[in-house]
Amino acid sequence: MRILIVSDLHGNAQALDVVPTDYDQLWVLGDLVNYGPNPGAVVEFVRQHANIVVRGNHDNAIGRHEDPQCSEPYRRMAEAMSRFTERELSNDDKQYLAHLPLTATADISGLHFFLCHASPSDPLFSYCPAESDRWPDEVDIADSDVLLCGHTHIPFIREINGSQVVNPGSLGQPKIGLPRACYAVWENGRITLHTAPYDYERTINTIRALGTLGVTSEIKQDLIQVLKTGGLLSAAKTEVIS
């Protein structure tokens, strides 16, 4: 069994082009949309190919018209691109996002998996980086062999109390300091983290070509800088919660 695990696609269809296709199952840890210029294509891909999908804070925002609780300057980018995303998606796609589950579980080869976007205690919004001392409590809540989560856009694997905590990083808006799509693969009882170069310049050109309604040149430049630098904004814009 080979499982492809992705998170935080954020409407970036070009990043999908570089993930493996030789998988048995596809698991998606939320945030299919927002920030990126191709929300429709990403939602369509996930609906056609994914076996398990959980809801992220941006899926929740678009599907249920609720605050994604981003910090500055990501809030400004999210607000501008949410209006674009809502125009681009069909009502059916928005209903799909709204009704995605907050958590999911799966049993594969004798291992119990728990899937969520942020953390088991707060599936939509909790920002819990790799070094957080909250993970032992989160592992207890998940009660699983493997806890899969996203949201931070930074990949990691931690061993805690006999369980693995795995964040595959972000496929569509990586924050690793490099413009490389991040994902994870589970195969033969082992999870590995991967990054791959993708045609981010094509994504950038699509952002540049967006209409001006609600998407100012400043917003576009911030979106482009995040993609080019792998999440690094200017010194005055250091918040990372997305």
Instruction: Report which secondary-structure segment, H or E, holds 80.
Output: helix 74-88
Other CB atoms within 10 Å distance of the CB of residue 143: 12
3-state secondary structure of 7: coil
Most confident listed range (30-34, 68-72, 238-242): 30-34
Q: Which residue in 51, 39, 140, 177 sits closest to 104, CA to CA? A: 51
- Rounded to the nearest 5°, which phi and psi values hold at 233? -100, 180
Q: Looking at the domain that runs over 2-229, which CATH code has it been given?
A: 3.60.21.10
Domain spans of the chain, in order of start: 2-229
Buried b (16+ CB within 10 A) or exposed e, 74-86: bbebbbbbbebbb
The whole-number pLDDT of residue 71 equals 83
pLDDT in tens, 150-194: 999 999 999 999 999 999 999 999 999 999 999 999 999 999 999
- State the distance between the two ends of the chain, measured CA to CA, in whole angstroms: 32
